[in-house]
Amino acid sequence: MKTTFTRLFFPLVTLAAAASVTWAADVPALGPDGFSLPMSDSGVPTYLIEMKDGQLIPPQLVVPAKTRFRIVARNIGSKPAEFESNQLRLEKVLFMGAEAYMNVTPLDAGSYDYFDEFSPGVDGKLIAKPRS
Amino acid sequence: MGQIIFVVARESIEALLIIGILFAWMSSREGAEKGKHWIYAGVLAGLGLATLLALTLVGVTHFLGGEARSWFEIGMLTLASTLIVQMVMWMRSHGRTLKKEMENRLDRDLSAANWWGVFFLVTIAVGREGSETAMFLYGSFLQLATWASYASFFGAVAIGLAIAMVLFYLLQLGNRFISWKWFFRITEIMLLFLGASLFLTASEKLLNGYLSNVDLPAWFYSSVWNTSHILSESSLIGDLLASLFAYRSRPIGWDLVTVAVFALVVWRLLAWQSTRQAQQTRPQTQAAANPGG
C-alpha cells in the first residue's frame, strides 16, 4: 500500500527518472539530413511511435516543419495506452497490440510534446525544424 | 494501482460535471424532480454505450469501421456541445419553478422534449469517456493474477470514482449554499466552456481526418501563440483545462476560428432568447389585463 501511495504522489519523479534512463539507452536514430527516419515515405512521411507500458519509443522525433506527415502509434505494452497530444491535436486510445494512423497538419518550427494519457509523467518530444 | 485511480478519476470528471450541474438544477426546482429519472436513465444508457464502444476498441466487434468511427466521434462531440447550449438556454428560461409551465400542455410537450435532451446529453457524456475507462479497466483486469491484485484493482477503481464524486458533491453543496443566481452564473460559464471544448475537439478531428487532404490557407495551420512553457497540456492541470475549458497552449488559426464561431453563435442565440422572452411577456400581460380584446 505504501509503495503504491508513493507512486501515486511522485509519479513525475519516478517516471521521469525511468525516462531519462531509457533516453540514454536508445537515442533515436537520425538520418544524414538530421531528421528522424520515417518508417515509410510514400508521398506522406510516416513515423512510428511505439508505446510500452508508459514508455515512449522513440522519446524524440525530428520532423520537417511546414510539411504534412503521419504518425503511427502502436501499443506494444501489456496494458492499454492512450496516445495524446493536444499540441498536435491528436488523441487515440489503443488496446494491447492495437495501432492507429494519425494525420498531422503542417507544423510551425518548434517543439511539441506527446504522451500516454494512461501513464502520465513521461513526455515525448517532437521537434519540427525547417529543411535546410 | 495509482494509474487506475488516476485514469478513473480523470475520465469521469467531464461526465460528473454535466450530471452534477443538471442534478443540482433539478433538486432546486419544483416540478423538475421527474427530470432526475431521465438522468438515471441517461447514466444507464451511457454505461451501455460505453460497453459497446469499448468492445469496438478492444476489437471484439467491428460494427464501426475506422472511418465510420471517426464520423461517429465527431457526431457525438457536436451533438453533446449542441445539447449543452440548449440546456443552458432552457435553464435560463426557467426561473425558480417549472410547476406553472407544467400546467400548460404546450409547455409540457416542450419539457418532454427537454427531458430527452437531458437523457441524450448524459448518455453521451457517460458513454464517450466511459468507453475509454472501460477499455482501460478491461485491459488492466486481464493482467490480474493474485487475490491481492484483484483486491487492489477494485479498491483503486472505487477510490478513483470517489475522487471524481467529490466534484459532484461540491456542485450539490454549492447549489445549497450559494444563491441560485450565482450558482447558475458560475455553472453556466463552466457548461459553455465545456461545450466549446467539445466543439473544438470535434473540429480538430475533422481537420486531421477528412480535411487532411485539403490545403487550407497556411495561417489555419500556424500557431498563433505559445504558452507551453507556462502551462503544457501534458501536465495534469493543463490536461484538465484542455478538456474542460478548451485550453490550448499552442492554438493554430483553425482552433481560434472554431472557438470564435462557437462563441459568436452562442452569444447571438442567448441575445435572441432574451429579446424574445421580453417580447413574449409583454403581450401576455396586456392580454391578461384586457381579456375581452
**Mean pLDDT to the nearest integer, B113-132:** 92
For residue B96, name the pLDDT band (cuts at 50, 70, 90): low
Whether pLDDT at A33 is above 90: no
pLDDT digits (tens, 9 = 90+) for B131-176: 999 999 999 999 898 999 999 999 999 999 999 999 999 999 998 8
Chain B contact for A112, CB < 8 A?
yes
Contact B234 A113 (CB under 8 A): yes
- Quote the distance between the C-alpha of residue A8 and its chain's center: 22
CA angle B123, B126, B129 (to 5 degrees): 135
**Mean pLDDT to the nearest integer, A31-53:** 89
* pLDDT at position A24: 42
* pLDDT at position A27: 56
What is the C-alpha separation between B120 and A26, in angstroms, rounded?
48
What is the C-alpha separation between B185 and B64, in angstroms, rounded?
40
Whether pLDDT at B194 is above 90: yes
Whether pLDDT at B102 is above 80: no
Chain B contact for A123, CB < 8 A?
yes
Which of A1-10, A115-124, B153-162, B229-238 has maximum average pLDDT? Answer: B153-162
CATH number for A2-129: choose from 3.30.360.10, 2.60.40.420, 3.40.1110.10, 3.10.310.30: 2.60.40.420
For residue A17, name the pLDDT band (cuts at 50, 70, 90): very low
pLDDT digits (tens, 9 = 90+) for B23-45: 998 887 777 778 899 999 999 99
What is the C-alpha separation between A21 and B175, in angstroms, rounded?
49
Contacts of B286 (CB under 8 A, 6+ apart): none
A4 contacts on B by Cβ (under 8 Å): 1-2, 152
Reduced to 3 states (helix: H, G, I; strand: E, B; else coil), residue A71 is: strand
H/E segment holding residue A129:
strand A123-129
Q: What is the ipTM of this complex?
A: 0.84
Interface test with B, best of A118, A119, A123 (most B CBs within 10 A): A118
What percent of chain B has pLDDT above 70? Answer: 88
Contact B204 A7 (CB under 8 A): no
* pLDDT at position A15: 45
